Every structure is written in structure tokens, then in C-alpha cells.
A and B are shown apart, each in its own frame.
Chain A
């Protein structure tokens, strides 16, 4: 099953890129351990692995963002030392990062012109426009050069990123988790573009953790696990089961135990909600739904269609301009985050480190954030360290948070443990409503499973769970009903059992489900 590893032999067609025995360490982790990887012209080579397997690190090394501790890089048969992205670009390497590297307030043309050799000094954006239109036509990547990037959808922003690489003459294109921001249909469009590029002789490295798409798009697949290459296989000669085994390192993929849904009374009602985003534009235009106790409502949709603003309005962090929110029968529209939290609305935030914890404070102090002002943790304005410590001790044990001590600054914990800390804090108060935004994003497979289990347990214990995620698999696995958001509206709500991937994909792209009115909210 393990394919041949390419050695730097002086053959007639050396690989476009050869990474040989690359090792890269970060404090406490070996991110890449003697990794060898080859890419040929005219192929799509997938790099498959769980979160944290070291795929992105390896590609950042190829793109000159990190220096390897040891190992060699060969490009077109020549040994090279890539010290910066500038040198990578000169070698014909382009990279589309998972989090796009775009200057949001600038126009598409300005973004493309940035640092591009050969643009005129005066009015570079205007000069680039023509070239941009020509390229976008050739590869089927339509964009308007004069629009500001923040106005574009995630899919359009991705096109800008690809065009940025192509216009710089990239022969090697690295795409890091490119489908995570796309609807299933948009992903198919992207694959067509990649096929066209492949036919023109480009080499494409496609980073992903999704087995299906890797099998459908790639020619060869290299699987990484914990910083090492497990093996390289031809897509035509392998199957999902084998890839899963290589990727996870064990035979059977864990299955969640999910009991039947017995929805109880209504816990959260949202009616005709309107809100603006940070730029003052409408982000929510009339969102209506309800979540009952004992059910999980999944909110699916491509990033940037109002999910973030929805969560913020529901948790009191953003003003609702119109509409109302009813929590346990009480109108809580535009009430403070503290009141909502006191009423039993838990919030697992999207931005774990920026918002979910105070990085410099200790684990125990982070565990009482939001409840520090109430007994038993606070009495007449004084904190009660013993009560805090006792609570933290129990939470750390119950939620299996791995920490050297309760006094360790939270920023020193791993991503999975930070998320466990947040869940321990949010769920230990027996919340009536749990609002979880991207709860497993970027976590490894063990933490992901555990966090999904925790959410299911909340549902069984009678909490109403609102799960916002861009990961369709996660939504399909956990949710009892699925609502799809597009441009600040709900395109439809379908029971999870009846949902087809295609139907959800269409709704994500803006097709309204006709049955939405008759089925109710």
C-alpha cells in the first residue's frame, strides 16, 4: 500500500517539488518528523491528515514562512533554500492559505497588485485589471477587480487568492483546506478549475482532512499522522477505509452514540431578527427559528452569511435592530450578556483563544469567568479563592482537562484542553440553552469526539442546543434539525433524517426551500 518514495535522482523529469527528510520542531512538539514528499507537474497530490498532523507546517516550510530544522528542498531538480515567501514566489510556488491572506479593505486589483513585480508605479490597480480579467476568463474564475474584498463571499475571496498565485506565474499551487469555505456545488466548480490547471501542466498540492473529496480530486495521496508520513498511495488504487486507517491509525472509526430525539418545551425562540455587521450593513435579515429542550438545531452555511452575527445577537454581544429573542418564555432582546448567561444561556464561542479564555489568567480563574460575580465565588465584592479552587478541581477532573496545575496560565494549554476548559465552564451550570459556534474546529480527532459527546449529553439532559458549524459532516452527525443560512436569511429548516447533501448544498448557495413556510419554524 505504501508507494515509492522519490529519491533525488537526476532523471529526465525531476519532480516539480521534492521535500526530503524535513524536520521542524516547535516548543514541545515535533510538527514534521523526517517528512518526504514529491509533487510532479500535471498532478494533483493530496496531503491528507487530521488536524495537527503537520500538513500546514510542511507547506509553510515549502512556502518559506518557516525554516526547517533539517532536511532538503528541491525544486525542478535544483536544491534550493527557501528563506522567505518572496523566494518561494520566484521559484513558482503559490499558496492559498486556509485563512486567506487578503487585505480586506482594499480592492481585488489592489490585493493582486501588492508586491507584484512588473506593475507600473502609477495606478497599479488599473493596469492589473485587464490582465486579471483575461486570467479569470481562462481558468473560469470570475471576479470583479474593482470590488472591495470584504464585500466578497468566501468563495469569491478564494478565487482572488488563486488568481494572485496564477498571476505570479505559480507552477506549484498549494491549497490548504480549500473546500472548508465552499458549498458542495462550489467545491465541484473548484475541482473543475483545478483540472484545467492540471491539464496546463501545473502541479497542485491539495491539503485536506476529508476522505471523499481527496479521493475524487487527487491523483496521488500522501497521508500524514502526528508529523510523519504514513504513506503515499495512488487515488485509483485505494479506498476510503484504507485512507481512514492510515489517517487515524486504527481500524474502526469511532461512531457517536446518538439516542432518538425527544424534543420538549420551547427554550429559545427567535423571530424576525435583524442586525447589522461591523461595517453597518445588514447581516441578519429576518431570521426566525425555535429550539426546544432536548434537541440540537444545526445552523449550516458558508462562512460569512450571518452566522457570527446571529450568535452574537443571541448572546447579547450585538444589538438586534428588529425582531425579538425569547429565552425560556422571557423576552431577552438586546439584554446584556451577563443577564443571558445568568438566565442559563451557555455560549461556546467561535474564537476560542481571543474570546473564550483570558490567556494570561490561570486555569482556575478562567473556569469561573462569567460566574465570578455570584456566590459561591463572590461575596460582597470579595472573591472566595477556596470556592473557586474546589470548583476548578472538580471541573478539571470531570472534563479531563490536562493541565500541569490549576494555577497554570490558560494560554499554555493545548487547543483541545482550552476547548474542554470552555465547555467545562459553560456546561457545568446546567444551562437551558447551549449556543456552540464551531466547537470542534481545528481540534484533533480525540478532542473532537469528546466534545461532540458532551454536546449530545447536553441534549439528552434536556438542554436546547444550537450548533453553528461550517463542517457539514458535523452538522449531519449531531443535529436533529438543520437550518441553512444564506446572506442573513434562513433558506430552510429540514429534519436531519430527511436532509440530502445536495439539497443542503443548494440552500447554502441561496436556493430557498419551498416547504419552509408550510413546515413552520
Chain B
């Protein structure tokens, strides 16, 4: 029965670690479906992590911390939207700048908060009834925060929004062919602002989760490249929120195993696994016919200018 316990705790922790990845990926899917790549996820997550920690530590309310993290992430994303949509700056460079800036700023502001454990952390839940199911109960329905379930619910809602509603048609059209949307009177810029901004909210929450729930403390650079993994996951999930769920939890498992397997392999080599896997997974999905199915939104990365010569 030892391996069952091992499996239960591994899956449970994998879910917990997958949460920031899931939130971040859902946000990036939202932005990229509207045609804007945001490489600033790493920056938005670290800013979110710092904000959530600072607010939770000062007010004693982790929920408020998460809310502020969301607002900060959304604000940073709106700035990215301003640069890329209105000023038509290169989306890659703007995103990179956001990540550098975010890492720098969070590091700067967070110096005084370094290393102190958080007093008020986000509570974990035990779902009544469900948690009693043998094996599955403790695996899925115990010791998770509300964000685990909210993330999965959000993925489903985002999928419904994108593929089953009028707004979804508008968002996907803006990402595929902004000229078409424009010719039908859609405000392309507005849609892009909203999608990028909403994506930033989610990334902020994902970052906040790190510092108020998963590892309730603040350390500089605690997002540890998760923002970049999120970009890879977005491609890997083929811009589909439902696929993002298992993609995020798969990488969550990889992160977790890099702690779990330290008895067998040097910890440094284990820690590089998620990053190596991100490349391997993308390479594997480049084989064969998969390229056609994993088609990016048609106008991804391109600024839209109405065709005045």
C-alpha cells in the first residue's frame, strides 16, 4: 500500500503545483486567441506573487492579496496591450521587456519582505463527501485550495465562451483575421485590449497562488521560469482551454517529481526536467501531421493596421 500513498500524494501535489501553470496558460490562451502573444507572463506572475504576498502579509487577508495580484497582472497586461495594439510595437520584445521589468521591480520592492513566512495563507479545503472516496478522495479532493477547482471551472467556462458564444466568435475572428472583423464593425483594438487584460488578471492570480498558497513566503525570482513554461503550454494545448488542464497538471507533476525523486538523482538535474520537457514536448508535437492540427490563430503576433496604403 506504500505505492498507493506515494501516488496519492504525488497526484495531489501535482495538482497543487499545476494551478499557477493552469491559470497562466488560460490567460495566455485568452490573449493569443485574440491575436496577441504576451511573453510577459513571467513578469506578470512574479508581480502577482509579490503583490499577493505583500497585501496578504499586511492585511492578513490572502483573498484580498489574490485580488490585488489579479489587478496588478491585468494592469501590466494592459500596458503590453497599449504598446502592441496601439503603438504597434513588436509583441515579442514588448513581452520580454515586461518580464524583465516585472522581475526587476518585484525583486526591488520585495527586498524587505524576503524570507519571512506568510502568516495568513489561503486555506485548503476538504470537500465533504467526495474526500471520503478511497484513493481518489485524498488524491483530488483534499488539501487543495479553492483555486485548483476554480481553475478547472474557469477552463471549462473559457472553452464555452470561446467556442459556444457570440463573444467567442468575435474573439477568435479577431485573432484569425482582424481585417474581416474590422470590416464587420468589430472594434479590433478593444477586443484585443480586453482579452490581453483578462489574460493578465489570470496570470496575476497564478503568480499570487505561489506566494499565498503553494509556498507561503516571498523569495526573489520565485516564479522560476513558470511564465515561460506557460507560453510553451499554450502551444502544446493547441490554444484549447480544456487541453490546458491536463497539460498544466502534467507539468505540475514534473515540477513536483523534481523534488520527489531527489533520492535517485541530483536535485539540480531533476530541476531542469520541466524546462527540458517543454522543449521535447514541442518538438514531439512538430512531428508528422500534428502541425496542421496545432494551427496557431492566423493573425497571432501581427499588429493590425487598417489597410490605408
- Tell me, yes or no, whether B219 is within 8 Å of chain A by CB: no
- Tell me, yes or no, whether A120 is within 8 Å of chain B by CB: yes
Asked if residues B292 and A110 are in contact (CB atoms below 8 Å), the reply is no
- Tell me, yes or no, whether A113 is within 8 Å of chain B by CB: yes
A window 333-356: CB within 8 A of B: none
**Among B166, B167, B176, B182, which residue has its beta carbon within 8 angstroms of that of A104?**
B176
For residue A27, which residues in chain B have a CB less than 8 angstroms away from its CB? 309
Asked if residues A113 and B169 are in contact (CB atoms below 8 Å), the reply is yes
- Tell me, yes or no, whether B172 is within 8 Å of chain A by CB: yes
The answer to whether residues A114 and B181 also contact, given A121-B166, A122-B164, A279-B292 and a CB cut-off of 8 A, is yes
**Segment of A94-102, A193-201, A304-312, A444-452 in the binding face:** A94-102
- Nearest-neighbour CB distance to chain B for A250, whole angstroms, equals 27
Q: Give the number of residues in B that approach A within 8 Å (Cβ atoms).
A: 27
- Tell me, yes or no, whether B5 is within 8 Å of chain A by CB: no
Interface readout for A382-414 with B: 1 if CB under 8 Å, 0 if not? 000000000000000000000000000000000
For residue A65, which residues in chain B have a CB less than 8 angstroms away from its CB? 182-183, 306-307
For residue B176, which residues in chain A have a CB less than 8 angstroms away from its CB? 103-106
- Tell me, yes or no, whether B185 is within 8 Å of chain A by CB: yes
**Among B170, B180, B185, B307, which residue has its beta carbon within 8 angstroms of that of A102?**
B180
- Nearest-neighbour CB distance to chain B for A364, whole angstroms, equals 25
The answer to whether residues A110 and B183 also contact, given A104-B176, A104-B177 and a CB cut-off of 8 A, is no
- Nearest-neighbour CB distance to chain A for B134, whole angstroms, equals 39
**Segment of A82-90, A323-331, A421-429, A471-479 in the binding face:** A82-90
- Tell me, yes or no, whether A254 is within 8 Å of chain B by CB: no
For residue B307, which residues in chain A have a CB less than 8 angstroms away from its CB? 65
Give Cα A86 to B188, complex, Å. Answer: 12
Asked if residues A89 and B166 are in contact (CB atoms below 8 Å), the reply is no
- Nearest-neighbour CB distance to chain A for B60, whole angstroms, equals 40
Asked if residues A85 and B308 are in contact (CB atoms below 8 Å), the reply is no
Asked if residues B170 and A105 are in contact (CB atoms below 8 Å), the reply is no
Q: Which secondary structure characterizes the binding site on chain A?
A: loop
**Among A101, A105, A119, A121, which residue has its beta carbon within 8 angstroms of that of B183?**
A101
Asked if residues B306 and A114 are in contact (CB atoms below 8 Å), the reply is no
Asked if residues A280 and B183 are in contact (CB atoms below 8 Å), the reply is no
Give Cα A111 to B181, complex, Å. Answer: 9
- Tell me, yes or no, whether B165 is within 8 Å of chain A by CB: yes
- Tell me, yes or no, whether B289 is within 8 Å of chain A by CB: yes
**Among A103, A123, A278, A280, which residue has its beta carbon within 8 angstroms of that of B180?**
A103
Chain B residue nearest to A66 in the complex (CB): B308
Asked if residues A125 and B180 are in contact (CB atoms below 8 Å), the reply is no
Chain A residue nearest to B184 in the complex (CB): A115
For residue A111, which residues in chain B have a CB less than 8 angstroms away from its CB? 180
Chain A residue nearest to B297 in the complex (CB): A105
Asked if residues B183 and A97 are in contact (CB atoms below 8 Å), the reply is yes
- Tell me, yes or no, whether B96 is within 8 Å of chain A by CB: no
Asked if residues A103 and B289 are in contact (CB atoms below 8 Å), the reply is no
For residue A263, which residues in chain B have a CB less than 8 angstroms away from its CB? none
Asked if residues A101 and B308 are in contact (CB atoms below 8 Å), the reply is no
Most chain B beta carbons < 10 A, residue from A27, A86, A95, A115: A115
List 26 interface pairs A-B (beta carbons < 8 Å), by A numbering: A26-B308, A27-B309, A65-B182, A65-B306, A65-B307, A85-B182, A86-B186, A86-B187, A104-B298, A105-B176, A110-B173, A111-B180, A113-B166, A113-B169, A114-B173, A115-B184, A115-B186, A120-B166, A122-B164, A122-B165, A123-B164, A123-B165, A164-B184, A278-B292, A279-B292, A280-B289
**Chain B residues proximal to chain A, CB less than 8 Å:** 164-167, 169-170, 172-173, 176-177, 179-187, 289, 292, 295, 298, 306-309
Q: Which 8 A-B pairs have the closest CB atoms?
A: A86-B185, A115-B184, A101-B180, A101-B183, A124-B166, A26-B309, A103-B177, A103-B176
